[in-house]
Amino acid sequence: MLDLKRIRQEPETVRELLRKKHVEVDFTPLLDWDQKRRELLAEVEQLKAERNRVSEEVARRKKSQQDATSLIEEMRGVGEHIQRLENELGPLEEAIRDFLLGVPNTPLMDVPDGDGADDNQEVHRVGDPPHFHFPVKPHWDLGESLDILDFERGRKLSGSRFTVLKGDGARLSRALINFMLDHNRARGYREIAPPYLVNRDALIGTGQLPKFADDVFRVVPHEYYLIPTAEVPLTNLHRNEILNEKDLPLKYTAYTASFRAEAGAAGRDTRGIIRQHQFDKVELVRVVRPDDSEAALAEMVRDAESLLEALELPYRTVLLCGGDMGFGQAKTYDIEVWLPSYDNYVEISSCSNMTDFQARRADIRYRPQGSKRTEFVHTLNGSALAVGRTMAALLENHQQADGSIRIPERLQPYLGGQDRIGGT
């Protein structure tokens, strides 16, 4: 959620920044409601001061045994007036909040202009795409030939975009999860095991609701939602809390299943395990002081990149342009792994600085040392990594001529020393 005071003071600057995301916002109704609300608040405060003055005079007259009937009647009238004004304030404040909940975060000044993915700025590439001297198979064919991915039974059990992992496929997924969590813990993240079902307030806090209601699964008739990412419960751990500055930064990692309706994604990535309704992911979340969020983003990107390097997977990192950024993001780096079946790089992690956007929605503050005032924290999140996409990248990049899959050395201990899947 954007700062209403900032919009009030510099609406054109905020509008210009939002145009980087190709979003046009007319703040006229918001500012009209805000002006009316402030006028009502000022009148309420004035009337309350008057009521206090009259109450003191009533007390004085009663103490001196004077008649206070007229003053008591006057005080009753003031109280009724205050109640009427407060009844007007409620809908105004609700309208202001609803408006702000629908406005995206503004990108930081160094976010490049652009319309979409083609305008993202490549930061660097690490590792060379492999050269094969045999016909290359996509991960869906490899998975079926090795009997570790079962798409037909996934469809039978649930429908399209669901997959059953079998044998070494299930073991590989579990090995990747444990490897990622251990890696993240070694880099200072505290492991959390959060619920997969959250309430509506949690999704509002991180920005999925109300705007992206079609992309999340709601449990009917209960007001629970399946999490689209562990970012939701991890960030909301501190909803409606005031943190001490000495406790910052907070660094969390979690493995969860994630659930996305993928509304509007028909026809894209329909084969394999790149885009599923249910998928596994290891997430990183940081809660930091505002002055530290840019450095924290750079560190988070390196945390995710180092996983790919350990798994011997070629990748590139790109800085997203304004037109390719998400609703709540102020600055985002995508890490894209090389997939031979795509003959291209495919997103495997997205690391974002959300600045104070989520903190305002979830009311997460901290109290600077020596200060009585509180400030909003900055929150950051990133995938480290999407497990299914990592598995797909491993299968494709490490496939061998005999149809087997080479297991990277760093991952072998998590598979009991096994150095390959399949083969003779």
What does the block give as tokens for 351?
């690391």
Which residue out of 245, 294, 309, 347 is catalytically annotated? 347
Per-residue HEC secondary structure of 162-200 comes to CCEECCHHHHHHHHHHHHHHHHHHHCCCEECCCCCEECH
Rounded distance, CA 92 to CA 399, Å? 61
Rounded distance, CA 356 to CA 15, Å? 18
Task: Mark the binding-site residues for L-serine, compressed into ranges.
Answer: 229-231, 260, 283, 381, 383
Rounded distance, CA 27 to CA 23, Å? 12
Rounded distance, CA 129 to CA 360, Å? 42
Task: Mark the binding-site residues for ATP, compressed into ranges.
Answer: 260-262, 347-350
Is residue 243 within 8 A of residue 205, CB to CB? The reply is no
Q: How far is CA 316 from CA 176, 183, 234, 372, 409, in A?
A: 20, 20, 27, 45, 22
Is residue 334 within 8 A of residue 207, CB to CB? The reply is no
Is residue 224 within 8 A of residue 259, CB to CB? The reply is no
275 part of the active site: yes
Which residue out of 51, 161, 360, 389 is catalytically annotated? 389
Which residue out of 260, 286, 361, 365 is catalytically annotated? 260
- Bridge-partner residues for 319, per DSSP? 121, 333
Which residue out of 275, 289, 316, 410 is catalytically annotated? 275
Residue linked to tokens 């989520």: 358
Decide: residue 81, CB within 10 A, 0-12 exposed, 13-18 middle, 19+ buried.
middle
Residue 212 DSSP class: T
What length does the chain have? 424
347 part of the active site: yes
305 part of the active site: no
Which distant-in-sequence residues (6+ apart) come within 8 Å of 419 by Cβ?
Answer: 406, 407, 412
350 part of the active site: yes
* Secondary structure E strands in 50-188: 121-126, 149-150, 164-165
Rounded distance, CA 255 to CA 199, Å? 19
Task: Mark the binding-site residues, compressed into ranges.
Answer: 229-231, 260-262, 283, 347-350, 381, 383
Residue 130 DSSP class: P
Which distant-in-sequence residues (6+ apart) come within 8 Å of 360 by Cβ?
Answer: 1, 2, 3, 376
Which residue out of 350, 361, 365, 396 is catalytically annotated? 350
Decide: residue 2, CB within 10 A, 0-12 exposed, 13-18 middle, 19+ buried.
buried
Question: Residues with catalytic annotation?
Answer: 260, 275, 347, 350, 389
